[in-house]
């Protein structure tokens, strides 16, 4: 059994978006949907490297088949805090056909590229996010003000 890897807080929102986007394009009835989306997104990125500015989750999707992240080296650097760009880029191999694109992204969109690469590292490790679990307040004050307490659940309409 492998150890569970948790996504650090500074990547949590982007990682959840990455997972949701990937899952939304993986359709058992249309297995080429994700591949076609990825090809289309990568073609757009090649034409206009800045079109994904502000969307590191989408950039990570584009880079799935373009880069190889050395997770064994990158993970310890990124668990507690966001690592420096030089540390991240030392852990990444680039497909030879996309060196120019990655060079442009590195020069013009370095922070977004760094976040996308970190997201890919955690994605490859099948990491999970820690969810906030609030404890239920069972105090009398809470129960007194709960206007729905004791009502029949069938009396509520579905949304």
Query: From the first residue on, what is the mean pLDDT of each consecutive set of 10 residues in the chain (159 residues)?
Result: 86 96 89 91 94 94 95 95 96 94 96 98 91 43 42 41
Q: What is the pTM of this model?
A: 0.79
Which residues are 94's β-sheet partners? 67
Which residues are 128's β-sheet partners? 6
For 94, left (φ over 0), alpha (ψ -120 to 50), or beta?
beta
pLDDT computed for residue 27 by the predictor = 85
- 91/86 Cα distance (integer angstroms): 9
Secondary structure element (H or E) that encloses residue 98, with its range: none
Q: What are phi and psi of 93, to 5 degrees?
A: -105, 145
Question: Could you tell me which of 12, 37, 39 has the C-alpha nearest to residue 26?
Answer: 37
- 80/99 Cα distance (integer angstroms): 30
Question: Could you tell me which of 145, 149, 90, 153 has the C-alpha nearest to residue 121?
Answer: 90
pLDDT computed for residue 131 by the predictor = 57
Question: Could you tell me which of 32, 6, 107, 120 has the C-alpha nearest to residue 69?
Answer: 120
pLDDT computed for residue 147 by the predictor = 41
- 22/54 Cα distance (integer angstroms): 18
Coil, strand, or helix at residue 55?
coil
Domain borders along the chain are 9-129
């Amino acid at each position: 059994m492998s150890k569970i890897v948790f996504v650090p807080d500074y990547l949590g929102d982007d990682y959840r978006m990455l997972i949701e986007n990937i899952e939304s394009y993986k359709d058992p009835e249309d297995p080429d949907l994700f591949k076609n989306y990825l090809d289309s997104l990568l073609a757009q990125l090649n034409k206009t490297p800045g079109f994904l500015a502000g969307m590191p989750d989408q950039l990570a999707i584009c880079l799935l088949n373009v880069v190889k992240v050395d997770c064994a080296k990158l993970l310890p650097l990124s668990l507690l805090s966001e690592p420096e760009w030089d540390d991240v880029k030392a852990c990444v191999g680039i497909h030879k056909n996309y060196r120019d694109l990655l060079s442009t992204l590195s020069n013009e969109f370095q922070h977004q590229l760094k976040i996308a690469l970190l997201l890919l590292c955690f994605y490859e490790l099948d990491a999970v996010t820690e969810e906030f679990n609030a404890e239920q307040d069972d105090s009398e004050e809470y129960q007194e003000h709960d206007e729905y307490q004791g009502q029949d659940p069938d009396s509520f309409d579905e949304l």
